[in-house]
Amino acid sequence: MLSQLDANTVMDLWIIAVGAMTNAACALVGCYLVLRRMSLLGDAISHAVLPGLVVAFVLSGSVNVGFMFVGALAAGVLTAVFTETLHRYGGVAEDASMGVVFTAMFAVGVILIRRYAHAVELDADCVFSGSLDMITFHQVALAGFEVPRAMVSIAPVLLVNVAFILLFWKEMLISSFDPGLATTMGFRAGVLRYALMVLVALTAVASFEQVGSILVVAMLIVPGATAHLLTDRLRGMLWIAVLVAVASAVLGRWAATRWNVNTAGAMTVAVGGLYGLAALFSPRYGVVSTLARNARTSLRIVREDVLGMLYRLEELGVPRPMPAGEAARAVGGGPLAWLALAHLRQRREVARRGRALHLTEAGRDRARGLIRSHRLWEAYLVEYLGLPLDHVHEPAERMEHFIGTPLQSHLATDVAGTEIDPHGRAIPPPGPEGERRRD
């Protein structure tokens, strides 16, 4: 019983190790594909290698791994060359030329199989989803250890990818970002582009057998796309992509055992899930954080509207009590208004005396800055844009929330000498700190 469990664990670990290495190899070159907007190339190459496999089989008369590998690699590189040629000399858009080339090559592959290789067990299942679950049944001896053959074919590819990226870091960086400049400096962008395509072909072909075409395509694109959502540095992007690739191998294997499904399929779903999480929760580009940022801005605007309103009341000289309910209604009502009021009291910008709200010293300073922005903007609109008086309040009402200190002083210089706004009210002087806090 115990040995049985052990064997299962060992198998799981091998599957995770091979899966992780395959995914990482794909993710590394995939980052560059994503950045160069060439993501589709992974898809193209992984389909187009089919005729290469068949031709290699027909020529060698065996399913020898070495021949198959060379055949597939040649087909992969040919895809890259055909795509580029069609794009450059045929005047076909790049994505369209990829689409034409890889579907055509895939079709040729299917015809060749039907014609020459129908006897071979090249089953569709394996092409789509790989044989990751079976890797421990094909062991080879390596330095005295029995290791899965899959490991021996993917590990060198991973090493080649890592070595290439380390060695040509600077060249890949400049030619991905600015191919024109790279070329004028003597780093021929075209050459580096082909080098990347060859690496993609190599990686796709080596990964194919283990994880199948769907996971290869997913791993070439999704970890890179996920990482791009999470970081603004290339180095960080590559690390995160590898992390995502490895995590989806672990998660995928766990899910596959848990629900007894195909491992490569589960890994594909896992990486998709990780992308979804990043798209929702990425600090800068995520849906949730964008919503949160918008909500914070809305809240700030309502807060500032309350401050502005109280300031104007004070300015009238006949202070009249402003109950919280009336204030909330005046700034649009609803939960947002009440939240803003609670916020203002918590920040000690507004205090409550009896039932009425009034500004604290801090609140008054802040409101003064706001009103200053508002009236400077009105003055500016009248003086420089020649707008009539009844056209300037509303734009100023919107703009006042977004005028920071630099713009405020710029406006003040432009309308220099004006101390009253177009409606005849005084423009408050700059605040004591001379700076408005932005949050």
By the criterion CB under 8 A, which residues form the site for other proteins? 35, 37, 91, 167-171, 173-174, 176-178, 180-187, 228, 231-234, 236-237
Q: Which is nearer to other proteins, 144 or 186 (CB)?
A: 186
Provide, rounded to whole angstroms, the least separation between the CB of residue 410 and other proteins. 11
Q: Cβ of residue 185: shortest distance to other proteins, in angstroms?
A: 4
Taking the complex as a whole, how short is the minimal distance between the CB of residue 233 and other proteins, in angstroms?
A: 5
Select 31 or 68, whichever has its Cβ closest to other proteins.
31
In the bound state with other proteins, the residue whose beta carbon lies nearer, of 90 and 334, is 90
- Least distance (Å) between residue 240 CB and other proteins: 10
3-class SS shares of the chain: helix, strand, coil, % to 5:
75, 5, 20
323 strand-pairing partners: 356
What minimum distance in Å lies between the beta carbon of 166 and other proteins? 10
For CA atoms 323, 327, 329, 333, the dihedral sign is negative
Dihedrals φ, ψ of 62, to 5°?
Answer: -145, 170
Complex with other proteins: residue 171 or 397, whichever CB lies closer:
171
What tokens does 1 get? 């019983």
Q: Which CB atom, from 239 or from 254, has the smaller least distance to other proteins?
A: 239
Report the first-to-last Cα separation within the chain, whole angstroms.
Answer: 62
CA atoms within 13 A on the CB side of 158: 20
Cβ nearer to other proteins, comparing 179 with 395: 179
Scan for tokens 């949050």, then name that residue: 439
Question: Least Å distance between CB 138 and other proteins?
Answer: 38
Measure the CA–CA gap between 37 and 188, rounded to whole angstroms: 19
- Least separation in angstroms between residue 174's CB and other proteins is 5
Residue 19 vs 30, nearer CB to other proteins: 30
List the one residue out of 350, 36, 287 whose CA is nearest residue 177.
36
Burial readout 221-238 (b: 16 or more C-beta within 10 A, e: otherwise): bbbbbbbbbbbeebeebb
CB of 227 to other proteins, least distance (A): 9
Cβ distance to other proteins smaller for residue 168 or 194 = 168
H helical segments located in 231-351: 234-259, 263-281, 287-316, 324-330, 334-346
SS3 readout for 42-55? HHHHHHHHHHHHHH
- Rounded to 10°, the helix 149-167/2-35 angle is 30
Looking at this protein, which amino acid is placed at residue 123?
D
Q: Least distance (Å) from other proteins to the CB of residue 35?
A: 6
> Which residues have C-beta within 8 Å of that of residue 255, sequence separation ≥ 6?
261, 266, 269, 270
177/281 with CB nearer other proteins: 177
Question: Is 116:71 a contact under the CB 8 Å cutoff?
Answer: no
